[in-house]
Chains A and B, each alone.
Chain A
Amino acid sequence: MTEFKLNAEPRVVEPTVFELSSPGRTGVSFPAPDVPLADLPERLLRTDLPLPELAEVDVVRHYMHLSNFNYSVDGGFYPLGSCTMKYNPKINEDTARLPGFTFTHPLQPLETVQGSLALMFTLQEWLKEISGFASVTLQPAAGAHGELTGALIMRAYHQARSDSKRVKMLIPDSAHGTNPASSGVVGLNIVQIPSDPRGNVDLEALKAECDDTVVGLMLTNPNTLGLFDEHVEEVVRLVHECGGLVYGDGANLNALLGILRPGDIGIDVMHFNLHKTFSTPHGGGGPGSGPVGVAEHLAAFLPAPLIGILEPATDELPPLFGYETPARSIGRMKAFHGHFGMIVRAFTYILMHGAEGLRQIAEYAVLNANYLQARVRSTYKVPYDRICMHEFVAEGHIEGSDIQALDIAKRLMDFNFHPPTNYFPLIVHEALMIEPTETENKDTLDRFAETLIQIAEEARTTPDLLHQAPHTTPFGRMDEVRAARELVLCCWLPENYGEQE
């Protein structure tokens, strides 16, 4: 095992708010009470209130300093595989802040929120058109919540046919890691299907598991190797033939926009990640949003309510939008109508691009990933080496050195790049999962490729530079092992407050 010399002591020290506190300093002055003081029982009173005391300017500067330690899509290249960290256009923020949207409440009378309902209805229609599904719900909170919704719908479908022996969810080893978790939450037995040497679902292994206990298969396509399954129609046929349903993990839909509609190749149910494909912020920037689309035979099971047209338009009046409950709905998956702010942003993004623009997104996402793969494949082994889709997976291992994927990831931070996803998917040794997205220009891709090539050279000549990286960040190499083994999650407890002085 490599011995890391850990150098995680802070290089730029920002004290905690408690350390910045000074007795009597204040950011707000409460007015004198204008109601009589209540006479509270003695046992409910406390004599101290150990909160930090700071002026407003101190608080603002403290959090500004901390925020400068952050890394974001607005700050630099973020090739975090399978997360689709594309640039989030600022016009999305403008539309989401329009007072007509922000000053509404979901419990208002229908007639007073027709604009919001029209937007949601239109987005449902657009997502149907983009994906080839018959019906769409916007409720799920994010991707894995969409998977849970989909798995519940699949189970409900079999139960409605009194087919109670189906307990098995088939999941390829190249699927997103949330797929087995979502199926597990629903109480299904997970059966892993291996990949073949080209990175496709192994058809023989799949055939061996296809029987009358199969609920369905959860297919990530393109998969986490960034590869399109060359036998996807055969995979879908095998699952359907044994009575199962096919779930499509739509997290990688960015690679397919305007080119292939999952509903057209027989996928029965799929979630969208508005926060990946449709540019709504994620990774701490905002909640996700994971609408789910289904084929006709599953439409009756969707969560309620959906947005529908209650009264069609007339010559004088626009349609009246309102809520509809599918006949055999699995129920509500989310309070009110999902993450409405994200729905507005995704609507804006689709409107700004149009059909042709959406297709270009997919084309450039795939082109960028292939360009980057072509530039680094002679330096880093790409184990499943063929034309990729929107991402590819390389091995973070350099011949003749003890450098690991983690060292390469940390060293990239010294060049102001966010590291790629590492150690996933599990089927690649020392995996580095790289997704450039369509929003990066050739200069950025070249700079990143040249940095990766330089790091490979450093791995041979000056390996300690990598072992001890990063060198330019506010904190150096963290002790990940100790952090995971010693779960001390609180460094300051109220009862220890006196010890601060």
Chain B
Amino acid sequence: MNYPDNLKYTQSDEWINPEDGTVGITDYAQDQLSDVVFVEILVAVGDTVESGSEIASVESVKAAAESYAPVSGTVVAINEDLADTPETLNSDPYGAGWTVRIEGGDLSGLMDAAAYQKYCEERA
């Protein structure tokens, strides 16, 4: 399982890049979901989101799940490619599988990679 050091993490298994506010679901999350077959981004560029509000709906062959905003802020970009290539959430969760970009967020309540890894291992 991959936990990049430069990212911050939520208890609901999202990551956010402190440098540019890019958000996605973690390697652990995509592994739990198994093959993702459908992704719908529920917010639009310009929307203001609250930390914990739904930003994306993700369906796999096993289950349907929601992805939540790790921080409050303004949505400045969404990954429109995911509608056609939902499998990138599995193949590249920290890269091409990003979901949205949120600006202006306060990251102080989030976990670092070590804390998130421990949190995942406790649930295994």
Q: Does any Cβ of B come within 8 Å of A423's Cβ?
A: yes
Q: Is the CB of A484 within 8 A of B63?
A: no
B35: chain A residues within 8 A (beta carbon): 480-481, 484
When chains A and B are docked, how far (Å) is the Cα of A464 from the Cα of B90?
24
What 1/0 mask marks residues of chain A from 397 to 429 whose CB sits below 8 Å from any chain B CB? Answer: 000000000000000000000000001101000
Q: Is the CB of A484 within 8 A of B38?
A: yes
When chains A and B are docked, how far (Å) is the Cα of A480 from the Cα of B63?
13
Q: Does any Cβ of B come within 8 Å of A485's Cβ?
A: yes
A423: chain B residues within 8 A (beta carbon): 62-63
Q: Is the CB of B63 within 8 A of A485?
A: no
When chains A and B are docked, how far (Å) is the Cα of A426 from the Cα of B31?
14
Q: Does any Cβ of A come within 8 Å of B14's Cβ?
A: no
Q: Is the CB of A485 within 8 A of B37?
A: yes
Could you tell me how many residues of chain B have their Cβ less than 8 Å away from some Cβ of chain A? 12
B87: chain A residues within 8 A (beta carbon): 485
Nearest to B65 among chain A residues (CB) is A426
Interface residues on A, range: under 10
Q: Which of A1, A424, A481 contacts B37 (CB 8 A)?
A: A481
Q: Does any Cβ of A come within 8 Å of B1's Cβ?
A: no
B24: chain A residues within 8 A (beta carbon): none
Nearest to A424 among chain B residues (CB) is B63
Docked complex: B49-108 residues within 8 A CB-CB of A:
59, 61-63, 86-87, 90
Q: Is the CB of A484 within 8 A of B62?
A: no
A481: chain B residues within 8 A (beta carbon): 35, 37, 61
When chains A and B are docked, how far (Å) is the Cα of A484 from the Cα of B31?
18
B90: chain A residues within 8 A (beta carbon): 1
B31: chain A residues within 8 A (beta carbon): 1
Q: Is the CB of B37 within 8 A of A426?
A: no
B86: chain A residues within 8 A (beta carbon): 485
What 1/0 mask marks residues of chain B from 28 to 41 whose CB sits below 8 Å from any chain A CB? Answer: 00010011011000
A357–chain B nearest beta-carbon distance, Å:
39
Nearest to B31 among chain A residues (CB) is A1
A484: chain B residues within 8 A (beta carbon): 35, 37-38, 59, 61
Interface residues of B (CB under 8 A from A): 31, 34-35, 37-38, 59, 61-63, 86-87, 90
Interface residues of A (CB under 8 A from B): 1, 423-424, 426, 480-481, 484-485
| 21 contacts across the A-B interface (CB closer than 8 A) | A1-B31, A1-B34, A1-B90, A423-B62, A423-B63, A424-B63, A426-B63, A480-B35, A480-B61, A481-B35, A481-B37, A481-B61, A484-B35, A484-B37, A484-B38, A484-B59, A484-B61, A485-B37, A485-B38, A485-B86, A485-B87
